[in-house]
Amino acid sequence: MTSLILSTTTRFLLPLLLMFSIFLLLRGHNEPGGGFVGGLLAAAAFALHAIAYSVGATRRLLIIDPRALIGAGLLIAVASGAAPLAAGLPFMTGQWWSPEVPALGKLQIGTPLLFDTGVYLVVLGVTLTIILSLAEE
């Protein structure tokens, strides 16, 4: 049974929830929050879509398999921890770069943000794998 109210609300809430999850990812790298909470919120947004429409529609919306997100997230997290090894520093030592972007100015990019991005993808992938596999049965 489909609900017109739920499906209409989901169309408006999904982009807002995903933007807020990205905000939590970016804002939380120096404060509590970050990748874990952002990944859970993004997974909740896709779970809402699966409830409103169907698991098949949500898988088509995702484009990429949630298990691939787990692998990509693990790769990014390990790479961010191993990056300082190239500079002769211990594993997981924070490193920062400040590239100049024409439209945005000077950005501060560091390995903690990359690690949180990896955590974000892992949490999103694991949670979606669990939710979508349970919803299919």
More confident residue, 130 or 113: 130
- Token pair in block for residue 136: 């299919």
Q: Which of 72, 47, 67 is nearest to 57 (CA)?
A: 47
Residue extents of the structural domains in the chain? 4-136
What are the pLDDT digits (tens) for 39-90? 999 999 999 999 999 999 999 999 999 999 999 999 999 999 998 898 889 9
Q: Can you tell me the distance from the alpha carbon of 105 to that of 91, in angstroms, rounded to the nearest whole number?
A: 30
Which residues touch 70 (CB under 8 Å, ≥6 apart)? 121, 122, 125, 126, 129
Residue % of the chain over a pLDDT of 70: 96
Handedness of CA 58, 62, 68, 73 (dihedral sign): negative
The answer to whether residues 45 and 37 touch, using CB atoms and an 8 Å cutoff, is no
**What's the pLDDT score for residue 120?**
96
